[in-house]
Amino acid sequence: MSAKIRLFVDHPLGKEQSVPLDRDQAHYLFGVMRLAVGTSVLLFNGRDGEWMASVVVVGKRGGELLVQTQTRPLQMPPDLWLLFAPIKKARTDFIVEKAAEMGAARIVPVQTEFTNAERIRQNRLQAHAVEAAEQCGGTFVPEVTGLQKLDRVLADWPTGRKLMFCDEEKVGRSSALTGILADGGWAILIGPEGGFSKRERTRLRGLEFAQSVSLGPRILRADTAAVAAMTLWQQKLGDWR
């Protein structure tokens, strides 16, 4: 039987490696998917690529898999971060899921002046990134960081990284994005529902590493804007070329 299930495990993967399953994984594989001893599963851990493994122990609260052969090497996304201001719960979940599918290397929730969310559920967002990687065939899982203040992120900006600042005041202009994917990588910045404050916009426009970019003739909701910006970036500078 061909393996259809892809499972993320936080465990080293290599030939003949035994992988213990926790309660949730056992519940999913044996309780929900009804896998029996001998069935194949695809595993990845974000570091070692994708491997075929077979079920050796089935249990209610655990189990064990045995890794056989590598089916795919690790495929890293381009060095792209997505910085976004968290919005309502379901839409924030959507942004994280889509960023993982679209090939973000790192997802950074940022608090801006008009951000309503004071806190995020980092573990839950990270779990969404894992699920997205499981279903889209990815072998890498982007890290979702804790919520950081935009001002601080900009003050600590890494040398060489470029910023694609999605600036709603540029609505209607051409979406010119220029540059190359150099060693320092890139980041995309998407604002909250209320947009950026005047002060934030002035600061962002003045940063030498930032390029302010339009996303076309309509104002997009933040979740749409995140997907649109990543599409534009991937097509011009990333792994869609």
User: Residues interacting with ligand SAH, by CB under 6 A?
Assistant: 166-168, 170-171, 190-191, 193-196, 214-216, 219-220, 222, 225
58 in Cβ contact with 35 (< 8 Å): yes
Shortest distance in whole angstroms from residue 173 CB to ligand SAH = 8
Report the residue number whose CB is nearest to ligand SAH: 191
Which C-beta is closer to ligand SAH: that of 36 or that of 176?
176
CA geometry: angle at 185 spanning 179 and 186, to 5°? Answer: 70
Using alpha carbons only, how large is the chain's radius of gyration in Å?
20
Please name the amino acid found at residue 207.
Answer: L
Provide, rounded to whole angstroms, the least separation between the CB of residue 119 and ligand SAH.
Answer: 20
Give 170 or 203: the residue with its C-beta nearer to ligand SAH: 170
Identify which of residues 138 and 191 has a Cβ nearer to ligand SAH in the complex. Answer: 191
Report, in Å, the least distance between residue 237 CB and ligand SAH: 17
Query: For residues 192 and 88, what is the distance between their CA atoms, to the nearest angstrom?
Result: 10
Please give the biggest Cα pair distance in the chain: 61
43 or 225: CB nearest ligand SAH: 225
For 174, half-sphere exposure in the C-beta direction (CA atoms, 13 angstrom radius) is: 3
CB of 212 to ligand SAH, least distance (A): 8
Q: Give the pairing type, strands 143-144 and 148-149.
A: unpaired
Residue 179: beta bridge partners? none
Q: Please give the span between the terminal C-alpha atoms of the chain, in angstroms, as a whole number.
A: 35
Of 195 and 238, which CB lies nearer to ligand SAH in the complex structure?
195
Cβ at position 207, least distance to ligand SAH in Å: 15
